[in-house]
Structure 1
Amino acid sequence: MCGLASRSVAAPSHLIKSRADQSLLDEIRRWREGMVRTRYARPSRLPLDAVPGWNTGVAEPAFTHGSGRFFAVRGHSVRTEDGRRAWMQPMVDQPEIGLLAIAVTPSDRGYAALVQAKAEPGNINGIQLSPTVQATRSNRERVHGGRPVPYLDLFDPATADVIVDSRQSEHGGVFWQKRNRVMIVRTPRFEPDVGFRWIELADLLALLHDDDLVHADTRAVLGCAPWTLPSGFAAAGARIPILPRTLSGAARCDVRPLARWLSAERARQSSVSVSVALPDLAGWGRSADALRRDDGTGFEVVAVSVDAAGREVDTWCQPMVRPVGLGVVGLAVCDRGGQLNLLMQACPEPGLVDDVELGPTVQIAGGEAPRSGAEADLLALLLDRPMEAVLFDAVLSDEGGRFLHSRCRHLVVLVDDCDAPVGFRWCPVSEVIAMLVHSHQVNMQARSALVCLVGAVAGEPLSRSEPVPRPAARTAA
C-alpha cells in the first residue's frame, strides 16, 4: 500500500455502533442549504474554441491548459486484444495522483467524519457533502495561484493515525489511468472551519438515500473503509441480518481464488490503446459548443466558465465531460449459505491501469447501452424485482470537477440465488472489502455501490420493523 512501508494501518473496532439518528438528518440538510448562499461554483457554457487559458482550437491535437498542468483531453483508439471490439473516444488525461481523504474522530455512536460543503461546477444541486480533502497535485501545490487547500496537514502519512491508505482508480471509461491516493485518518475532535462539519458516519450513510447529496468521492473513500457492524444490527428490523456476520470475516478471508479469477479475466478481456489527435477521432464530430459522437450517444466534451465562491480561486475556465443520459450502477445481493454475496463483474474499462477491475453487477454509463447481453438481462432482473426486495434506490452524482451533471441511478437489490454468467462471480461481501486493502482491484462504481449497501442498513432507524418505503420507480436510463 502507498506510503506504509514501515507503518501498520490501525483498524478501529466499529466505525458505526448505532443506526442513523433521524432527528439530525434534517438539521444537516438545512446546514447544507445554508452553505449554498456563500459557497458556489456556477458554470456557463463557452464556445469550444474560446476557452481562456486553454488550447482548444479546431486543429489542436488535444485540449491542454496553457500551464501544462491540471489535465488534458486527448483522443484514444482502443481495441480489445481478441479483436472483437474497436472504437475511438476522447479521454481525460490527468497523470497527477489526486488525494481523496476523510478525517474521522471517535464518538459515542462510532465515528464521525469531517465533511465539507463543496461546490463544484458539475454538481446538479450546487453543494454536496464532500471529503475533508479532495485535491489534485496541481491544486495542492497552488498552481492556480489561489488559496491553500484546508486540512492537508491532517494527512501527512509520517504523523497521521492512518486507517486506510491505498491507491485507487477513477472512472476508467473517461479518465486515462487516473489514480487517487485514498486515505482515512483518525484525529481528535476539533472545531472545524466554516464550510466543514463533523457528521456521524451512520447519519452520512443515511443521507445517501437523498438524491445527489453525498459526493462521489466521499462514497469512493468510504467504500475502502474496514466496515464491520455490531451484532445488534442483525436484529430489530434489519432487512439483511446476515450482513454483520459476513462483514466480520473480512480480516481473515482468503481472497486468492478471487484474485486468480480476476487475473484470468484481465488476460481474457485486455485491450490496447494508442493516442489519436482529437480531429482524427472516427465517429466523432465537433460543433461550435461540443465534441460529440455522431450518433448522439454516450458523452460529449464541452467548455465552461465558472464563477465561484468558497473555492481556492473565484473564476476559471475548463473543458468538461457531459453524459447525455442517466447511468445505472446496480448491485445484486443474495444469501448464499448464510453469507451475503455480491454479484460482481470483471469490468473492462479502457482507462484503467490494469484493464479490468471488479465492478458492480450492472455498470452502464449515462447515454450508453449495456455492454453485453448478460448485463442487459441482469439489469432487467434488478428492475423487475418487487419493492420489498429493493434495499437501496437513489440517483447519485459523479464528481463535478470534470463531469457536468453526470448522474447514475444506484440500485441494491436482493435476488434469488442463480448461476453467475461468464465474466461475473458471486463474492462474499467480506472478500470484496478484503480486496480493497490492495490498489486497483475494485473500481469506483463498485465502491459506491458497496457504501450504498452498508447505508441501506445503517440508514435504518433501530425501531423500524417494516420495509423502508422506496422512491417511485424511475426510468433506468
Structure 2
Amino acid sequence: MTVPAASRTAFPDERLSRRLSRSAALTDGVTALSDYHRWFAACARRSATEVEPVPLDELAGWRREPGTGNLVHDSGLFFSVEGITVERPGAAVPRWSQPVINQPETGILGLLMTEFDGVAHFLMQAKTEPGNHNGLQLSPTVQATRSNYTGAHRGRPVPYVEYFRDASRHTVVADVRQSEQGAWFYRKRNRNMIVEVGEPVEVREGFCWLTLGQIHRLLALDDMVNMDSRTVLSCLPLTGAGLEDAAPPAADAFRTALLRSCGSGADEGVHSVGEILHWINEARSTTELRVRPTPLNQITGWHTTGGRISHDSGLFFDVMGVRVRARGREVDQWTQPLVAAGRTGVIAFLTRPIDGVLHVLMRAKAEPGHNDVVELAPTVQCTPQNYAALPAAARPALLDEVLDADPRRIRFDTTLSEEGGRFYHTRNRYLVVEADDSVPDDHPDFRWVTLRQLTDLLRHSYYLNVEARTLVTCLRSLLTAPQ
C-alpha cells in the first residue's frame, strides 16, 4: 500500500487543529478497528520473541568497569548502569543512593502522518520490546536510540528513520526534546517528532495507518499503546478551533468542560501562563537537589544477589539482565540490563471544572534525573507499596484521594507499560479522576492548569515529565472515546 501525494505547505495552527480534530473524531480509517485487531494478532503470532532472565555477569558484550563497578557496553555506546547519591535538605528523605541508567545520546521517537480522503492518519508499528510483559505493543513509526539508527549494533537499518533525520522535504508538525523517567534515568532525553509526508510511502510488514480516534480507542486497552507512542502523541497541537467536531453531539458536562479546556477560549485559566511559568522557574531556582555520580559498587542500601542488583528492603526496583532472541528486529539476538519495578504504580490527574473549563492539578516535582531539576508531574505519581520503607511524611499528598475515589468519578483507568527497551514488566495504573470537595484549591507544590496551557508548554523541552505526557494523551482521548 502507498500513500497518495499531498501538499507540503505548512498549515496554519487553526487548519492543523481542524484536521487533527477530524482525525480524532473517526474510529474508522483506511484500516477498520476490527481489521486492526486481526492484523495485530497476526503480528503477535509472527513476532516470536524469547526473553530469558540471566545474571548480570553473564551479559555478552557488557562488563563491570574496573574500579567503579559500573555496568557498561564493550563498545562504549548504548547506555550504562551507574550510581548516584542524591541530597535534598529538609525533605522527608534527605539523602539516598541508587542505580540509574545513563544514556547521554538523544534518540528519535517519530510518527509519520499523512492524509487519506482528507483525514489525518499516523503510521504505527507493532513492536516487541524485551521488557514488555505482554510482548507486542503499538509503537511509533520510529523508536530508536542514536546508537541504533547510526548502525552501532551492526544490524539492519531502522525503517523510516530517514524521514526524521532529514525532514527538509516534509512538513514538521512537532519536534521537541523531552525527558524520560527522572527516577530511573540520568538526564535522559529523546527527540519527539511528528512529520507529515507528501509523497508515497511503502507500508512495510508490521506497520499500519490509523486515525487519531482509533489510537485513542486503543489507549483504553491495557498495555496496548506503548510509552513512546504516548509521549509523541502528547506533542500534537490538538487545541483551538475545530475541536467541537471531535466531541460527541450530546457530550456530558465533563466532556464539555474538557472541550473548553482544550479550545481557543482556554488560553488563560485560573492561573495565567505567565504565572505558571513563574511558579515553575521559582521551584527550579529554590529547590535544593544535589545529585552526585557515585560508583555503582559504592552506593549504600543496595546489594547484588542472584545476579541482580536489589535494594536491601526488597522494594523500589531491581537491575537485572536478559538474553533476547527476536525475529524482525534490527538485530536477531542480544543481551542487556533492564530496570525491573516489581509493583504496579499509580499515576493520576485530579481534574476540576473552574468557570466551566476543566483544569488539571499539576505538581512541580523534583527528580534526580531531570535535566532542569523540576518538571510538571501528575497530581499523584508513585508506587504506594514503596512507602512501607519510608517515613510517613514521604507519603505523597492526595494519594488517598485517588485510591479512595468514588468509581463514578474515575474517567480513565488503564494499566499501561513503561518503555520495554529499558524496563522489565514495569507498569503503571493511569487514572483521570474528577476531584471532590476534599481536594484543596491551594498548595505550594500544585497548580490548576488547563489542557490548552499544557499543550502550549509541550511545544518546549522539559516542562512536562513523561508520566504527565502520557496522561495528557489519555485525557485528550476522552473527547471522543469514553471508557
User: How much has 1:124 moved relative to structure 2?
Assistant: 1.3
In 1, Cα distance between the equivalents of 2:125 and 2:250?
33
Amino acid at match of 2:21: I
Give the 5 Å matches for 1:367-382.
368-369=386-387, 376-382=396-402
Match of 2:46 in 1: 38
Amino acid at match of 1:179: R
1:338-392 deviations in Å (ceiling 9; x for gaps): 1110000001110000111000011114853399859645222123232222110
Mapped contact 2:225–2:416 kept (Cα < 8 A): yes
Match of 2:155 in 1: 146
Mapped contact 1:344–1:361 kept (Cα < 8 A): yes
Identity, in percent, stands at 37
In 2, Cα distance between the equivalents of 1:453 and 1:109?
25
Distance change in 2, residues 1:264/1:290 (3 Å): same
**Structure 2 residue aligned with 1:130, among 133, 136, 139?**
139
Task: Supply the RMSD in Å over aligned alpha carbons.
Answer: 2.4
Q: Is 1:169 paired with 2:179?
A: yes
Match of 1:180 in 2: 190
Give the 5 Å matches for 1:449-468.
449-460=471-482, 468=483
Match of 2:362 in 1: 344
In 1, Cα distance between the equivalents of 2:395 and 2:112?
37
What secondary structure is seen at the aligned counterpart in 1 of 2:478? Answer: helix
Match of 1:315 in 2: 333
Match of 1:93 in 2: 102
Which has the higher mean CA deviation after the structures are superposed, 49-58 or 342-351?
A: 49-58
Give the 5 Å matches for 1:430-469.
430-460=452-482, 468=483
Match of 2:301 in 1: 283
User: How much has 1:276 moved relative to structure 2?
Assistant: 1.2
Amino acid at match of 1:419: D
What secondary structure is seen at the aligned counterpart in 2 of 1:368? Answer: helix
1:98-130 deviations in Å (ceiling 9; x for gaps): 111111112457421101001100011111000
Match of 1:271 in 2: 289
Distance change in 2, residues 1:344/1:287 (3 Å): same
User: How much has 1:33 moved relative to structure 2?
Assistant: 1.4
In 2, Cα distance between the equivalents of 1:431 and 1:331?
15
**Structure 2 residue aligned with 1:219, among 219, 227, 230?**
230
Q: Is 1:427 paired with 2:449?
A: yes
Amino acid at match of 2:420: G
Match of 1:472 in 2: none
Higher fraction of helix: 2
1:42-101 deviations in Å (ceiling 9; x for gaps): 211111211110003896520000000000000000111557611000000000001111
Give the 5 Å matches for 1:11-410.
11=13, 12-14=16-18, 15-17=20-22, 19-21=25-27, 24-56=32-64, 61-82=69-90, 85-107=94-116, 110-155=119-164, 156-188=166-198, 190-228=201-239, 230-232=243-245, 233=247, 235-238=249-252, 239-249=254-264, 252-253=267-268, 255-365=273-383, 368-369=386-387, 376-410=396-430
Distance change in 2, residues 1:41/1:176 (3 Å): farther
User: How much has 1:21 moved relative to structure 2?
Assistant: 2.7
In 1, Cα distance between the equivalents of 2:210 and 2:456?
26
Which has the higher mean CA deviation after the structures are superposed, 152-161 or 125-134?
A: 152-161
Amino acid at match of 1:43: V
What secondary structure is seen at the aligned counterpart in 2 of 1:49? Answer: helix
What secondary structure is seen at the aligned counterpart in 2 of 1:279? Answer: helix
TM-score by length of structure 2 reads: 0.89
In 1, Cα distance between the equivalents of 2:106 and 2:100?
16
User: How much has 1:290 moved relative to structure 2?
Assistant: 0.8
Amino acid at match of 1:249: S
What secondary structure is seen at the aligned counterpart in 1 of 2:255? Answer: coil
In 2, Cα distance between the equivalents of 1:109 and 1:81?
56
In 2, Cα distance between the equivalents of 1:62 and 1:374?
29
In 2, Cα distance between the equivalents of 1:433 and 1:205?
17
In 2, Cα distance between the equivalents of 1:90 and 1:295?
15
Match of 2:4 in 1: none
Q: Which runs of 5+ in 1 are unaligned?
A: 1-6, 461-467, 469-477
Which has the higher mean CA deviation after the structures are superposed, 188-197 or 436-445?
A: 188-197
In 2, Cα distance between the equivalents of 1:250 and 1:338?
11
In 2, Cα distance between the equivalents of 1:227 and 1:270?
35
In 1, Cα distance between the equivalents of 2:281 and 2:218?
36
User: How much has 1:186 moved relative to structure 2?
Assistant: 1.1
In 2, Cα distance between the equivalents of 1:120 and 1:250?
41
In 2, Cα distance between the equivalents of 1:96 and 1:9?
32
Mapped contact 2:82–2:296 kept (Cα < 8 A): yes
Mapped contact 1:40–1:120 kept (Cα < 8 A): no
In 1, Cα distance between the equivalents of 2:84 and 2:11?
38
Mapped contact 2:65–2:72 kept (Cα < 8 A): no
What secondary structure is seen at the aligned counterpart in 2 of 1:258? Answer: helix
User: How much has 1:29 moved relative to structure 2?
Assistant: 2.1
Mapped contact 2:10–2:171 kept (Cα < 8 A): no
In 1, Cα distance between the equivalents of 2:385 and 2:110?
30
Deviating runs (4+, > 6 A) in structure 1? none
Q: Which runs of 5+ in 2 are unaligned?
A: 1-8
Mapped contact 1:328–1:365 kept (Cα < 8 A): yes
Distance change in 2, residues 1:237/1:244 (3 Å): closer
Distance change in 2, residues 1:393/1:114 (3 Å): same
Distance change in 2, residues 1:292/1:109 (3 Å): farther
Match of 1:464 in 2: none
User: How much has 1:243 moved relative to structure 2?
Assistant: 1.8
In 2, Cα distance between the equivalents of 1:159 and 1:81?
51
Distance change in 2, residues 1:108/1:255 (3 Å): farther
Distance change in 2, residues 1:48/1:131 (3 Å): same
What secondary structure is seen at the aligned counterpart in 1 of 2:56? Answer: coil
What secondary structure is seen at the aligned counterpart in 2 of 1:212? Answer: coil
Distance change in 2, residues 1:411/1:280 (3 Å): same
